[in-house]
Amino acid sequence: MASHEGAIGVNPNQYEEPMMKIPTMHIPGVSDTTDDTRTPFPLDQWYVAALGKELTDKPLARTLLCNKVVMFRDGEGKAFALEDRCCHRALPLSSGTVEACGIRCGYHGMLYNGQGQCLEVPGQDMVPPRAKVKKYHVEEKDSIIWIWFGRDEAAAPSCAPPDYTVHSSGDYIWDGSAFHYEAPYQLIHDNLLDLSHLGYVHLKTIGGDAKTHMNAEMKVKAEAKSVRVVRHMLNSAPPPTYTAAYPFKGLIDRWQEIEFYPSHLRIWTGAVDAGSEDINNPSRGGFHMRGFHGVTPETESTAHYIWTIATNPESNEEEVLKKVVDQTAMTFDEDKVVIEDQYANMLSFGEAPLVSIHVDAGANRARRIIDTLRTVAN
């Protein structure tokens, strides 16, 4: 695969891609899908539908890529997803109840299995052959529920969903949750690929000195379907979340490693005591935070943000995990305010152009990937 890699400093002349503008950024939530070679979202992709823990004994309703979906587990714990509509009178199936063999509509009691086939019509012996609803391909892997959206709705997935062994390796403890955004999903990509904003938005948690963040050396590597951003901040002051979770002696050498994929991002951040070891070493010690960020469009102007955070406490595991999770959730609350305000202002100003700076390198390359994947294959 072709790739492009380079160190991005604070000199704007080093940045070769000043292109944050329409149509690369489809700001007002209106796509260019009047062109029949385009789709609103990349297809033939696995997307994050939920965390495994979200599927309990009740149906979970979620709109994903403009599709109203209901998710549930059967009596054996297997996850399923169906169109959220009873074929009788169109009540959402998510208004019904989960049973061992499927989901029962809350209006007239029609029972559907995980394949979408109606198994029972109360008060009637015969089930009409056409009594079925659309099923989606889902797979639960590493405590994440993945759902497949393909160009050919009848076709099986062409690949397995991604692995995320951080959840299953036993090397970390973790937890997570989900946010709903009144903003397009690519604005969340932009935010996560540019961590220079931490010094301004997240002063009480994972931020730190803003000048240190803005001046950090940044290396960006782009491939056909991924972008990798690495930032190092040496001899910097630890932010509040770090000092609350780990016994640092003073200044720290801090890293931020971001991996973007069309369906999700993986962010490995952390630090060691300044000068204590090489932070390029994959086996480095110190304090680690590994974030999983499932960014799934709900519609063209709203999104689901399904996240987890994993860490490696030296002691007091439950106490440290709670601190890390609570402070991570706080940072995401802060991001949500910024992104939703940003989008509301974009709607107000319409097609007003935007100017790129050095910190936008990763985000712009990710937008190019999404833009390419939205093209319908011939």
**264: which strand partners?**
261, 294
More confident residue, 204 or 128: 128
Q: Which amino acid is at 180?
A: H
pLDDT of 73 reads: 97
Beta bridge partners of 120: 111
Report the distance separating Cα 115 and Cα 319, nearest Å.
Answer: 42
What's residue 360's pLDDT?
86
In degrees and rounded to multiples of 5, residue 337 shows phi and psi of: -60, -45
Q: Which residue has the higher pLDDT, 100 or 8?
A: 100
> What is the Cα–Cα distance from 364 to 301, expressed in whole angstroms?
19
Contact predicate 230/257, CB 8 Å: yes
Domains of the chain: 4-34+163-373 (3.90.380.10), 45-149 (2.102.10.10)
Chain centroid to CA 94 = 23
Burial class (CB in 10 A: 0-12, 13-18, 19+), 138: buried
**Closest among 110, 113, 114 to 124, alpha carbons compared:** 110
Q: How far apart are CA 5 and CA 195, in angstroms?
A: 18
| Spatial CA neighbour of 133 closest among 116, 152, 148 | 116
What residues have CB less than 8 Å from 344, skipping those under 6 apart?
A: 182
C-alpha count within 13 angstroms, C-beta hemisphere, residue 213: 19
Element housing 179 (H / E): strand 173-181
Q: How far apart are CA 261 and CA 360, in angstroms?
A: 16
Note the pLDDT tens digit of each residue in 291-333: 999 999 999 999 999 999 999 888 889 998 998 898 889 888 8
User: Which pLDDT tens digit goes with each residue over 25-40?
Assistant: 545 444 555 566 778 9
As given in the structure block, the two tokens for residue 296 are 């799934």
List, as one string, the DSSP characters of 180-246. Answer: EESS-HHHHHHHHH-GGGHHHH-TTTT---HHHHHHSEEEEEEETTEEEEEEEEEEEPPPHHHHHHS
pLDDT per residue over 103-124, tens digit each?
999 999 999 999 999 999 999 9
Residue 125 has pLDDT above 70, yes or no: yes
Which amino acid is located at 103 in the chain?
A: I
The whole-angstrom separation of Cα 187 and Cα 342 is 9
- Res 334 pLDDT > 50: yes
For residue 254, which of 221, 217, 291 has the smallest C-alpha distance? 217
Per-residue pLDDT reduced to its tens digit, 183-192: 999 999 999 9
Tokens of 246: 């780990």
Specify the residue for token string 């000068």: 275
For residues 356-361, average pLDDT: 84
Nearest Cα neighbor of 345 from 13, 6, 9, 28 is: 28
Going from the C-alpha of 89 to that of each of 85, 92, 131, the distances in angstroms are 8, 9, 11
Q: CA–CA separation, 286 vs 278, rounded Å?
A: 11
**What is 12-72 written as a DSSP string?**
GGG------STTTS-TTS---TTSTTB-SS--SEEEEEEEGGG-SSS-EEEEETTEEEEEE
Calculate the CA dihedral of residues 37, 38, 44, 47 and round it to 10 degrees: 180
With a cut of 50, say whether residue 17 has pLDDT above it.
Answer: no
Contact 247, 240 (CB under 8 A): no
**Using one digit for the tens of pLDDT, what is the confidence trace for 147-198?**
999 999 889 999 999 999 999 999 999 999 999 999 999 999 999 998 776 6
C-alpha distances (whole Å) from 231 to each of 68, 208, 361 are 39, 14, 12
Q: Is 361 helix (H, G, I), strand (E, B) or coil?
A: helix
Q: Inform me whether the pLDDT recorded for 62 exceeds 70.
A: yes
